[in-house]
Structure 1
Amino acid sequence: MTTDIKVHVLHTGLVQVDRALPFHDYYRNPLAFTGILRSHINQITLPVSSYLIEHPKGLVLIDTGWNESVRQSQWHELGMQVQINKAYLPAGWSVREQLATLGYKPSDIDYLVLSHLHSDHASGLKLVKEAKKILTSDAEWQAANRDKLRYINKMWRDVNVETFAYESANVGPLHQTFDLFGDGSVQFVATPGHSAGLSATIVTGKDGREVVLAADVGYARESWEKMVTPGIVVDRKAAIESLAWIKQEAAKPNVVEALANHDPQVMPHVVTLSY
């Protein structure tokens, strides 16, 4: 049993998108992020991250990256979404393979928490569906099962997904969090905008040092440094306010790292905090 908190930053795939998707505010064309009628020279390839937290109170996985099925057919997994997001999964990169490399089976995961249910975060869910408890916010779950354009609900069909409700707290742009262990060490923070129920994560050590996992509030550190929102949002105002909160958090002296899910400057590594 670990006596520290270890945050493993994993790359569980790659995604090719138009550069306007992560950095919407640089482009006048509001549909540039779709890549439609735009040259291939505007395409960029970004990592798709997941996070494994080894915690004294349990093993926590955040997000799942791509399913191994994309190696055979992106169309079968993504359908029409492949026009916007092209999925790549090199050998050894799937969430199942990454866990095995670290010596774990999916059934060893105590909590699998989905920051949101967009395809690049939920596609690999069935690879780890034996996790003891699978959670996402109730706001995200409701949105994902209504919206057939932004979500592909076959990705969680026949998977036992439970939901959590945010509670009032003095953290986040809405002052709403879900405290996983009830001790403030792993908090999921309501950060809507990119999706209705998007959760960022704050991991806190006993000495107050923190790691902020921004999910898709911004696609890279540049996003909050320059206040550039992503192309896909359900509420641009909320997206700006959530991004401003990440910017504020990232600047705090006790924050050792603030990480965006798709930042090409972030390599796989481990951050250790005391507990």
Structure 2
Amino acid sequence: MTTKIHIWHTGSVYIDQALAFKEKTWHPMPYSGWLRKKENKSWFPVSAYLIEHPKGTILIDTGWHEEIRTNSKKHLGWLPNSMFKGNLPTGESIKDRLEHMNLSSKELDYVILTHLHADHVSGLKHVTGAKTILTSEVEWQAAQRGLGYVRSMWEDVPVKTFEFHDISFGPFEKGYDLFHDGTVLLVHTPGHSKGQVSVLISTEGGWVLLASDVGYAEKSWMQQILPGVTVHKGDAHKSLAWVKDFSTREDCRYVFANHDPDVREGVIVDE
């Protein structure tokens, strides 16, 4: 059995560009979009990924929940709803995507949450039947008490956590080997959030790196442009530098940022 990686856009998010690409400006919080002009704002894709792996079926992040279509303010809460908007066309929710592939959530061996910000976990309750839902222990603890999270999105969901261990990849060489065989690695790439991971997948043609929100687009790591929101600038820079270095390796096939407008939907298969 070969490995297939499905790239899905599970809707889009309307944000100030300063949330995607950090700006130096007089505005104390340009990423919020408050008192900012319309021309500063854009729609960015919200990606999720389905990995058909010989050892299991893995969903990476969950995109928007269908409630975003009908009651955005209730789903996001007042403060997040004042900073960004979500759009979820028919057919693009995780629920829709799985149904299109004739998959139920019970057939998902793993749901991996790269971090717990709203646009990555909003659709989590569409896949509560998955066998195992995982995020890092560092991220889980940060989300229980930190700002920037909508905790109702995982309320009553059986989320499990994993500890970071020494691995040979990443800015801090910490992560989690999902199948204990080096084929799917959850690489600790903090900075945007404390416990964020990127997902590194081995294919016959080389590595595929799903870089989550280390940067919002390829230009982020190529030009070292931080996301507008970081919990630790030093870690964020180090994570971006690692992604840039990894992207230049001969055995690296692709690197994808979660919100890159230039990334198109498709399927990556073993070469």
TM range (shorter): over 0.9
Give the superposition deviation at 1:28: 5.7
Query: Contact (CA 8 Å) 1:20, 1:27: kept in 2 or not?
Result: no
Q: Secondary structure, in 3 states, of the residue corresponding to 1:49?
A: strand
Partners of 1:30 and 1:241 in 2: how far apart? 24
Query: Contact (CA 8 Å) 2:177, 2:184: kept in 1 or not?
Result: yes
Q: Which amino acid aligns with 1:8?
A: H
Of 39, 47, 50, the residue aligned with 1:49 is 47
Q: Secondary structure, in 3 states, of the residue corresponding to 2:160?
A: strand
Partners of 2:108 and 2:233 in 1: how far apart? 34
Matched, 1:183 2:169: no
Q: Secondary structure, in 3 states, of the residue corresponding to 2:123?
A: helix
Residue 40 of structure 1 is matched in structure 2 by: 38
Superimposed CA distance per residue, residues 204-262 of structure 1 (whole angstroms, 9 cap, x where no aligned partner): 1246x010000000000010111100011111111010010001111112111100000
Partners of 2:175 and 2:270 in 1: how far apart? 21
Partners of 2:112 and 2:62 in 1: how far apart? 9
Matched, 1:83 2:82: yes
Q: Which amino acid aligns with 1:240?
A: H
Give the superposition deviation at 1:100: 1.1
Residue 65 of structure 2 is matched in structure 1 by: 67
Partners of 2:8 and 2:141 in 1: how far apart? 28
TM-score norm. by structure 1 comes to: 0.96
RMSD: 1.1
Residue 233 of structure 2 is matched in structure 1 by: 236
Residue 265 of structure 1 is matched in structure 2 by: 262
Of 243, 247, 253, the residue aligned with 1:246 is 243
Q: Which amino acid aligns with 1:107?
A: K
Give the superposition deviation at 1:26: 5.8
Residue 156 of structure 1 is matched in structure 2 by: 154
Partners of 1:201 and 1:26 in 2: how far apart? 30
Q: Which amino acid aligns with 1:273?
A: D
Alignment of 1:159-174 (within 5 A): 159-174=157-172
Matched, 1:210 2:198: no
Give the superposition deviation at 1:273: 2.3
Give the superposition deviation at 1:27: 4.6
Partners of 1:116 and 1:85 in 2: how far apart? 18
Residue 10 of structure 1 is matched in structure 2 by: 8
Partners of 1:186 and 1:153 in 2: how far apart? 27
Give the superposition deviation at 1:30: 4.6
Matched, 1:224 2:221: yes
Query: Contact (CA 8 Å) 2:23, 2:30: kept in 1 or not?
Result: no
Residue 136 of structure 2 is matched in structure 1 by: 137
Sequence identity of aligned pairs in percent? 43
Residue 125 of structure 1 is matched in structure 2 by: 124
Partners of 2:243 and 2:9 in 1: how far apart? 21
